[in-house]
Copies of this chain bind each other. A is one copy, B any other.
Amino acid sequence: MATLQDVAVAAGVSPATASRALSAPDSVSMERRHRVLEAADRLGYRPNRSAQALASGRSRHLGLILPDLANPFFATVAKGVQAQARGTRRAVLVADTDEDVRAEREVIEDLQPGVDGMLLCSPRIGEDEIREIAASGPVVIVNREVEGLASVSFDVASGVRAALEHLRALGHTRIAYVGGPATSWSDARRRAALGEVAGLDIVDIGGQRPVHQGGVAAADLVIAARATAVLAYNDLVALGVMSRLRARGLSVPEDVSVVGFDDIPAASYVSPALTTVALPLTRAGHEATTLLDGLDDAVDPPTLRLPVELVVRDSTGPARP
């Protein structure tokens, strides 16, 4: 494997010049730059990333920590991060914590020293722990907010409000909220917004795992609560609720209306198509990555709260009179 040294020799310049020719093109005369580029090309030179990282103190690696890669929510964010990072030729270290707090701590600890910055997606760990992490390296939080730290989140409150108003307009008054993990910041945000629409009777169906099965499990509670509509923590849960409602002989939206959260692809291609609060997931990935870059020269840590949008499809309809 050819080293920069070899390239320099081949081009008849010093290693310093070779280095500059490759990384700071205009600090070297055109002629020499060409000589170096040509030599590098001819020798098939590939920079040694570890050496670059060690010497420069920057690895050009980003760490992305998320609870579950198989969850389309996170996969989509990851895709956004990816795309943005590749634009600046940086690589993304992805770690899946399996929704496990302990694994999360461990993996963050593990990854942090090797990256230039971390993206914490829906972290389940405590605020103080997050602060500690942020103290030892650039960090942007996604889908959660921590006072004093950079974050990209969604305006879920207005999403919840829009969903509830939609349901109220359809004549629903008794609405079940099927929640997510108890440790989830965004579940807390949704809950907090539940009271903001007047004239509604909200039944809170405790925290489920934020997956299809969680919704299945909750559906019977929804039925027992005699709610005519349900707002779910996310689309996966909403889909689970719908499955089970159907299995119990109820039809959506005739008997029960269902609203999800996230707008994952599956939401639009199940039947009935799911009414849901769409979150700009890919964009969140983009923004978070961009934020990470500007962190040092930022005076105070920027907080982005991205707008959401209620997408009305076929899973919601007028309440039975």
Contact B113 A94 (CB under 8 A): no
- How many residues of chain A have a CB within 8 Å of chain B? 45
A212-B265 contact in complex given A48-B54, A70-B75, C-beta closer than 8 Å: yes
Interface-facing stretch out of A26-34, A83-91, A151-159: A83-91
A69-B82 contact in complex given A46-B113, A47-B113, A92-B95, C-beta closer than 8 Å: yes
A274 to chain B, nearest CB (A): 11
- A261-299 residues with Cβ-Cβ distance < 8 A to B are 265-266, 269-271
Indicate if A13 sits at the interface (CB-CB under 8 A): no
Roughly how many angstroms separate A111 CA and B82 CA in the complex, as a whole number? 13
Contact B271 A271 (CB under 8 A): yes
> Of all chain B residues, which has the CB nearest A216?
B269
A240 to chain B, nearest CB (A): 7
Contact A93 B91 (CB under 8 A): yes
- A47-65 residues with Cβ-Cβ distance < 8 A to B are 47-51, 53-54, 59, 61
Indicate if A78 sits at the interface (CB-CB under 8 A): yes
Roughly how many angstroms separate A271 CA and B246 CA in the complex, as a whole number? 9
Roughly how many angstroms separate A1 CA and B184 CA in the complex, as a whole number? 32
Contact B107 A94 (CB under 8 A): no
- Measured between beta carbons, the chain B residues less than 8 angstroms from A47 are 113
Q: Report A94-119 CB contacts with B as 1/0, cut-off 8 Å.
A: 11101000000001001111100000
A239-B96 contact in complex given A47-B113, A50-B54, A54-B48, C-beta closer than 8 Å: no
Roughly how many angstroms separate A49 CA and B49 CA in the complex, as a whole number? 11
- Measured between beta carbons, the chain B residues less than 8 angstroms from A246 are 271
A residues in contact (CB < 8 Å) with B: 46-51, 53-54, 59, 61, 68-70, 72, 75-76, 78-79, 82-83, 86, 89, 91-96, 98, 107, 110-114, 212, 239-240, 243, 246, 265-266, 269-271
9 residue pairs A–B, Cβ–Cβ below 8 Å: A50-B53, A54-B54, A69-B79, A69-B82, A82-B94, A83-B98, A91-B114, A92-B94, A246-B271
